[in-house]
Amino acid sequence: MPVIRSSEAVTHEIHGVRFVSYATPLSGSEELCAWRGEIPPGLKAPAHTVSREEIFHLLDGELLITLDGRTDRVTAGDTVIVNPGATLTVENPTGRTAYSWVTTSIGLEAELADGTRIAPPWAN
């Protein structure tokens, strides 16, 4: 059984968010990826359309999540299911960092509004 110690997690940063990657093919996962997101206060990440389903669970804090044009306030303990092809925006309107746990299948890509495609290393 592979055990990924917190000291072995790989950190990536993009658009002002830290992604602390635990489960990827490089760490032994064959189907799923999982990471902790650290969303700083005041941040509004760019809208992006995902190619695979994401399960987004808020561990701590409060966020505004816009999914296909509908905005919901999400608080610690809430889970958002983001279906493939959905457009997602994450905003932290508070004064403290929010922490999330996200799981998806290997191969996730995101497309930004300008057509830029991102294959995040924490999901591939």
Whole-number average pLDDT of the chain: 96
26-80: per-residue pLDDT in tens?
Answer: 999 999 999 999 999 999 999 999 999 999 999 999 999 999 999 999 999 999 9
Q: Residues 59, 35: contact at Cβ < 8 Å?
A: no
Q: Kindly state the average pLDDT of the residues 67-94.
A: 98
- Provide Rg for the chain, Cα atoms: 14
Nearest-10 Cα torsion for 39, 121, 24, 111: 70
Q: 22: how many CB neighbours lie within 10 A of its CB? A: 18
Domains of the chain: 15-123 (2.60.120.10)
Q: How confident is the model at residue 1 (pLDDT cuts 50, 70, 90)?
A: low
Residues forming a β-bridge with 18: 13, 38
Q: Residues 41, 64: contact at Cβ < 8 Å?
A: no
